[in-house]
Structure 1
Amino acid sequence: MRRILLAFLATVLIGATAAAAQSPPQIPGMNSAPPGPQPKVQVLDPLYDFGTATEGKMVDHVFKIKNLGQGELEIRGMKTSCGCTAAAPSKNHLAPGEEADISVGFDTHFQKGHQVRTITAFTNDPTTPQAVMTMQGVVKQQVAATPAQVAFGTVHKGTAATQEVTIDDLTGQQGFKVSSVSNASPSIKVAIEPRKDGKPGAVLKVDLLPTMPAGSFDDSIKVTTNRAPLQIDVFGTVAGNLTLDPAQVSFGIVPKGQDVVRILRLTNSSPRDVKVLDISSSTPAVVASADPVKAGREYRITVTLRRGTPDGQLRGQLAIKTDDPEQSKVDVPFYAIVGQFKI
């Protein structure tokens, strides 16, 4: 079997190599060099270490790009490694010997610890079409939450649960205050209470209400203080009367041209019988069917990854529709990697 798999991989790799030779990958900003003088890009100081910054502050820096070539250098676009960083050039066309400023701003809100951000300038330099700049440093957190996340785990539908989060001031200054909290889910209630140990800060009482519908849930608590804002993720699962085992489908790594079958069990723990009305899929590559093991109480769900699914990662979701008044739909995530192997 291993020899067959190795032979299959060799065939795939040879084909991929041939295809790559016929169609070389295109890099943004890379063109065949036109005749005549050529530009040459250089970042004068490509690494900026800002040392330590307090969370919530904007870190600003100006990188300098120079044209060392004989032709005009064109800055065709900018890209940053995350949305909390912005970059803009002072000019887009540089004559030979000319410089341009790249102004960069790094928003440290909700950041902590060692941070690295990259900024890429796409140019018409035929040899170096991408000029990369890096800024790094340590963001010192002003406010901390313990625990940093609220995990309710699995809670049965109709059951309430409560957890507490302690908010601490890390600056050591006087007058720390938690002024407000907010979140999106109506089934999660958050209240600010004083700390019982007499220290600055507050305790957040996080209540999961019985109204939370069955299934996985997530929310985010936004905490406003007179130091810096804080964000606390909340997540968990509400188990209804209909439960799946397993709760998701992993097809694993699948050789191209093969189909794969997985079996799930849908169990009903409510007093009334439940029928499976339909199963739909987010992609035609995965299909499913339901067969009663014990009508109204237990169903065998057969999930198939169809032969001929294109190479690459596959993610999607099944929707099992039932006549249960409280769980009319049960979602089942699935994922697979087709045509990629690790030996």
Structure 2
Amino acid sequence: MRTAVSYVLVAAAGLIAWSCGQTGAKNELNSRPKITERRTQTFDFGTARQGVTIEHTFQLTNPGTAPVKVGRVQTTCGCTAAKVEKNTVIEPGKSLELPVKLNLRGKKGAIESKVIVNYADGATPDELVLKGAAAEEYTPSVDFTPFKRGEQPEQIVTLATYPGQQPLAVSHIKFDTQKFDITSRPGAKDGTVDVVIKPRPDAPFGSVADQIVVTTNDADAPDKFILVRAHVTKPLEAVVRQVVLRPGADGEPVSTIVEFKSTYGDPVSEVTASITREKRFTATIEPDAPDGTVRVRVAFRPGDKAKKSKIPAQLRVRASVGGVEVEEHVGVLYTTEPDTPAAKQQVEAGDADAHETDRF
């Protein structure tokens, strides 16, 4: 009987030892000392050409006595790319190469971008920094002041031959032909090329934009990127883009007049107005002003006490202007908060949640 008990005790001891061994194996990454200090590596690339891609390989070293598993890799700019296979383990005393790319497309002046390497086992993240400057060789963006449809204001971007390169020549220009007319011609100075940008006379009404790609014979940076933005005046445009309503001192309903003008002087007819969140707002067409300006009164309905201090909506006005059907939008915000820059920013951000179901 005593011998049988001894066998049972030995077996139990063996089972416990095996179980502990398995638990230790599973927790190996978490039971040993980890990286506890944030380490920062910086690569200064100096001054680089506009539009080129900077490439650098960082070394991630594990100075501890336990393996570390690489988790999520984050970047502070969409122009930066860093990729490493998920769950990659760096053994103690070993290093991992992490290639990083920084695209200087559209950049100019001082630049700093960071890559944050997180570790799955709770070790302190590493910070990788790329810094330097992009030399502005040409204007990377063009903005037209508002103009009427049919007009063709002109903007010129001059591209110059970079030192050490052959005389610059343009082989192709990629752009939206429904919005702009773009050509190239020799510049006033030797070795330069002028890119001439004009909106099409029949460009669509409202805000238009395009990313132009000018392909050249530049060996280091053949593609030149130019962002073009313009606004073609609509036949009917709101005088203001956003309005803010606040409760009066007596708690009475508050309202304001929103005006819309016929920018081309054409007659306006068949005007309709609507507004989102009809439980809280009303939109009523008022008599036109003497100069033909369309006037719409926007009012807030107090109703039961609202649960939110900010209630956004969107006013839509449709009309026939000179026989052309047009639609114009204005952001509306009712707020009980004081008139502050933060409140104005809420309106400028648009009516992102204006279509949510009222929750009162």
For the structure 1 residues 289 and 253, does the alpha-carbon distance in structure 2 shift closer, same or farther, using more than 3 Å as the test?
Answer: closer
2:324 corresponds to which residue? 326
Structure with the largest fraction of helix = 2
Question: What letter corresponds to residue 127 of structure 2 in structure 1?
Answer: V
Matched, 1:200 2:203: no
SS at match of 2:150: coil
1:53 corresponds to which residue? 48
Matched, 1:102 2:95: no
Matched, 1:219 2:226: no
Give the counterpart of 2:147 among 140, 152, 155.
155
For the structure 1 residues 289 and 317, does the alpha-carbon distance in structure 2 shift closer, same or farther, using more than 3 Å as the test?
Answer: closer
Q: CA deviation at 1:277?
A: 2.2
* Deviation string, structure 1 residues 18-55 (Cα, Å, up to 9, x no partner): xxxxxxxxxxxxxxxx9733422667651121223334
2:178 corresponds to which residue? 186
Give the counterpart of 2:35 among 6, 16, 40.
40
Question: What letter corresponds to residue 332 of structure 1 in structure 2?
Answer: V
Q: CA deviation at 1:66?
A: 3.1
* Deviation string, structure 1 residues 171-227 (Cα, Å, up to 9, x no partner): 3643211222221151311111222x3421222222223212332222232211222
SS at match of 2:258: strand
Q: Is the 8 A contact 1:288 1:301 kept in 2?
A: no
In the comparison of the two structures, how many residue pairs are matched? 300
Q: Is the 8 A contact 1:309 1:338 kept in 2?
A: no
Output the CA distance in 1 between the equivalents of 2:335 and 2:44.
39
Q: Is the 8 A contact 1:68 1:97 kept in 2?
A: yes
Question: What letter corresponds to residue 232 of structure 1 in structure 2?
Answer: I
* Deviation string, structure 1 residues 67-124 (Cα, Å, up to 9, x no partner): 3445442211111122322213377223344432222122333333322110011213
Question: What letter corresponds to residue 251 of structure 1 in structure 2?
Answer: V
Structure index of larger Rg: 2
For the structure 1 residues 273 and 225, does the alpha-carbon distance in structure 2 shift closer, same or farther, using more than 3 Å as the test?
Answer: same
For the structure 1 residues 183 and 79, does the alpha-carbon distance in structure 2 shift closer, same or farther, using more than 3 Å as the test?
Answer: same
* Deviation string, structure 1 residues 274-301 (Cα, Å, up to 9, x no partner): 22224244x7898451322229943323
After TM superposition, the structure 1 = structure 2 runs for residues 1-343 of structure 1, keeping only pairs within 5 Å, are: 36-40=31-35, 46-89=41-84, 92-126=88-122, 128=124, 130-141=125-136, 143-145=137-139, 148-171=140-163, 173-195=165-187, 197-227=188-218, 228=221, 229-246=223-240, 248-251=241-244, 262-268=256-262, 270-281=265-276, 287=281, 289-294=283-288, 297-303=292-298, 308=306, 310=308, 318-324=315-321, 325-333=323-331
Output the CA distance in 2 between the equivalents of 1:259 and 1:184.
48
SS at match of 1:213: coil
- TM-score, scaled to structure 2: 0.68
Q: Is the 8 A contact 2:258 2:297 kept in 1?
A: yes
Q: CA deviation at 1:315?
A: 8.0
Gaps of 5+ in 2: 1-28, 343-360
For the structure 1 residues 181 and 153, does the alpha-carbon distance in structure 2 shift closer, same or farther, using more than 3 Å as the test?
Answer: same
Alignment RMSD (CA, Å): 3.9
Gaps of 5+ in 1: 1-33
Output the CA distance in 1 between the equivalents of 2:309 and 2:89.
42
* Deviation string, structure 1 residues 126-181 (Cα, Å, up to 9, x no partner): 462x322111112335x414xx5433312123333333332223436432112222
Q: Is the 8 A contact 2:236 2:261 kept in 1?
A: yes
Question: What letter corresponds to residue 155 of structure 1 in structure 2?
Answer: F
Question: What letter corresponds to residue 235 of structure 1 in structure 2?
Answer: R
Q: Is the 8 A contact 1:43 1:133 kept in 2?
A: no
Question: What letter corresponds to residue 168 of structure 2 in structure 1?
Answer: F
Structure with the largest fraction of strand = 1
